[in-house]
A and B are shown apart, each in its own frame.
Chain A
């Protein structure tokens, strides 16, 4: 299928890359992916990517952690076996709450942090033994690669990318 063909444009400078991204977007070509060796500030905005919602998931995980801590300690310390331990008032959760706050805090942070990281791994498909996806090894060192899909406009696209300052252009068949 022709739509599986992509063009790979390599750049050597992040400023040139940013300008190239803006120009390609202005010419209404769809950028499939950009590979960079380090985070390029503002690239997501230039590409028009949506904001991440991972902070919202983190907030919800934190609420979950707080709920787990409260339920756990209310059951263990107040309902199941309300012992008198050093005169601490275990009559109700609120009576003894200051003693539970350190655990409530840590559990909130623990859930918020770890579940958010796991969410990040799942959403960005990262796990051990995962096959690396970079199309050109140099993109992990000092090259930037823009991948644009070809829809019967190979020559036109090639010319546009060369005009934006690409140092190397290759057309490949994308796998899968």
Chain B
């Protein structure tokens, strides 16, 4: 059966995109354009004990926290430093405030792109492992991975704009900063704008190429007389996984870790991978349950949902394992050059930093442990939404402290980013789903998948 895009969903996605774009523009307008303006906003925040309009939607926890430690350390810093330092401090604050809408845009753009990429990895794993349960879900996964094309291009454009000095998210892109930074000079061989953008182009090119080739072979298999397309797809998927694991790891150094160019962590690539993998699987489950509830997927039974929920459960724990391994090793050894990363986050991002652990670990652990609950559709949807928000927060925690520092919040720009890219994601994914039959017709494992029962 072919999927017809429901009008409500299509209009909803357009409204989300429009609202999101307006919010984002407002977010950009709210950002200060001069140092004086930034100073005024910072001063106003000091005087009122509030964070200004952009922080109006903050939870009270944030504000209290900012009042207690953020402001105290600000004042302390201002008292301690002389006049000359005060000016450079002002400029620093100005850059951070200017970064706010950019970082919000980047977090949302990367988050939705990461869902598509995680789904692509899951899809390739299922093809390479010749999984018997999942072939019925391939079209849905292909629909989600379609977003990798627009989403990847947008992320790429943001990176190019960063190189063109439209923002100050990546400090190492600023030649003047590098000039006075011995450590950044040492990393210049890897972290330089040309090599950076070439790498990004290679990664994106590779991922998009595999996605298009695999989709084409997958569709060709439906009308073929033999399994040659299936075999080719198997080989492409195995090769892609090798390329993906290398490129994904380097991508995480480039696009996220280099926001904190003085900091490094060896398992960072795995950590980002786990985050995108679980988000991708969760999105597959949510889209599948949505389509099933609309009566499009009669052959998908509870056991398929059960399997997806098991993956959500397992990879959530895998993510936590990597999060904790990274945190605990650095906390335990307490080497100053590494530990500042977490010191800053725990001091200034307490609620998002630990809140994400509750959302990404404790909640799915307790809720998805029961085998029966993994078959209840609304249960899986509910946990899925919590997991997706938790992993948005995860990206937020990786990007925001490095780009806006203490001047963070959850305001127009952040909500606008989620709405805009969420709308685009929904539109693109469901529009792709209308293009082909939702059920693959011919695949060596299709009958096994139909009969799949756990």
A: residues with CB less than 8 A from B are 55, 59, 87, 98-99, 101
Which residues of B are found within 8 Å of A101, using beta-carbon distances?
324, 328
**What is the predominant secondary structure among interface residues of chain B facing chain A?**
helix
A55 — nearest CB in chain B belongs to which residue?
Answer: B371
Q: Which residues of chain A have C-beta atoms less than 8 A from B202's C-beta?
A: none
10 pairs, A vs B, C-beta closer than 8 Å:
A55-B371, A59-B369, A87-B334, A98-B328, A98-B331, A98-B332, A99-B328, A99-B332, A101-B324, A101-B328
Interface residues of B in 359-389 (CB under 8 A from A): 369, 371
- Please, which residue of chain B has its CB at the minimum distance from the CB of A99? B332
B residues neighboring A (CB under 8 Å): 324, 327-328, 331-332, 334, 369, 371
Shortest distance between the CB of B357 and any CB in chain A (Å): 12
Known: A98-B328, A99-B332. 6 other contacts (CB 8 A): A59-B369, A87-B334, A98-B332, A99-B328, A101-B324, A101-B328
Task: List 7 A-B pairs, minimum CB-CB distance, nearest first.
Answer: A98-B328, A98-B331, A99-B332, A101-B324, A101-B328, A98-B332, A98-B327
Q: Which residues of A contact B324 (CB under 8 A)?
A: 98, 101
In the assembled complex, the Cα of A107 lies from the Cα of B324 at a distance in Å of 17
Residues of B within 8 Å of A87, CB to CB, are 334
Contacts of A98 in B (CB 8 A): 324, 327-328, 331-332
CA distance in complex: A52, B334 (Å): 47
What are the residues of chain A within 8 A of B369 when measuring CB–CB?
A: 59
B336, chain A: closest CB distance, angstroms: 13
Chain A residues contacting B332 (CB-CB under 8 Å) are: 98-99
**How many residue pairs, one in A and one in B, have C-beta atoms under 8 Å apart?**
12
A59 to B332, CA, bound (A): 30
Question: What is the minimal beta-carbon distance from B12 to any residue of chain A, in angstroms?
Answer: 40
Residue of A nearest to B321 (CB): A105
Residues of A within 8 A of B371 (CB): 55
Within the complex, the shortest CB–CB distance from A116 to chain B, in Å, comes to 14
Rounded to whole Å, the gap between the CB of B249 and the closest CB of chain A is 25
Residues of A within 8 A of B328 (CB): 98-99, 101
Cβ of B347 to closest chain A Cβ, rounded Å: 15
Q: State A120–B216 Cα separation when bound (angstroms).
A: 51
- Smallest CB-CB separation from B371: which chain A residue? A55
Residues of B contacting A99 in the complex (Cβ-Cβ under 8 angstroms) = 328, 332
Q: How far is the CA of A20 from the CA of B210 in the complex (A)?
A: 52
Max chain B C-beta neighbours (<10 A), residue from A55, A87, A98, A101: A98
Bound Cα distance A98, B326 (Å)? 11
In the complex, A59→B327 CA distance in Å? 27
Q: Which residues of A contact B327 (CB under 8 A)?
A: 98
Nearest residue (CB) in B for A42 is B453
Q: Could you tell me the distance in whole angstroms from the C-beta of A77 to the nearest C-beta in chain B? A: 14
Min CB–CB distance B24 → chain A (angstroms): 38
**Nearest neighbor of B334 in chain A, beta-carbon distance:** A87
Closest CB-CB distance, A50 to chain B, in whole Å?
14
Report the separation of the CA atoms of residues A120 and B324 in the bound assembly, to the nearest whole angstrom: 33
**What is the bound-complex CA distance between A99 and B334, given in angstroms?**
12
* Bound Cα distance from A87 to B339, whole angstroms: 15
Q: A55 vs B327: C-alpha distance in the bound complex, in angstroms?
A: 31
Smallest Cβ-Cβ distance to B324: which chain A residue: A101
A87 to B336, CA, bound (A): 14
Q: Bound state CA distance, A101 and B371, in angstroms?
A: 26
Which chain B residues lie closer than 8 Å to A55 at the CB level?
371
How close is A95's CB to chain B, nearest CB, in angstroms?
Answer: 11
Shortest distance between the CB of B30 and any CB in chain A (Å): 38
Instruction: Please indicate the chain A residues that have their CB under 8 angstroms from the CB of B331 in the complex.
Output: 98
In the bound complex, how far is the Cα of B324 from the Cα of A158, in angstroms? 64
Q: How far is the CB of A40 from chain B (nearest CB, A)?
A: 16
| Nearest CB on B from A136, distance (A) | 32
Query: Considering the chains assembled together, what is the distance between the CA atoms of A87 and B332 in angstroms?
Result: 10
| A152 CB, nearest partner CB in chain B, Å | 41
Question: How far, in Å, is A162 (CB) from chain B's closest CB?
Answer: 32
Distance in angstroms between the alpha carbons of A98 and B329 in the assembled complex: 9
**How far does the Cβ of A59 sit from chain B's closest Cβ, in whole Å?**
7
Docked pose: A110 CA to B429 CA in angstroms: 44
Distance in angstroms from A144 CB to nearest chain B CB is 23
CB distance from A105 to the nearest CB of B (A): 9
Nearest-neighbor residue (CB-CB) of A102 within chain B = B328
Who on chain A is nearest to B328 by CB? A98
CB distance from A46 to the nearest CB of B (A): 15
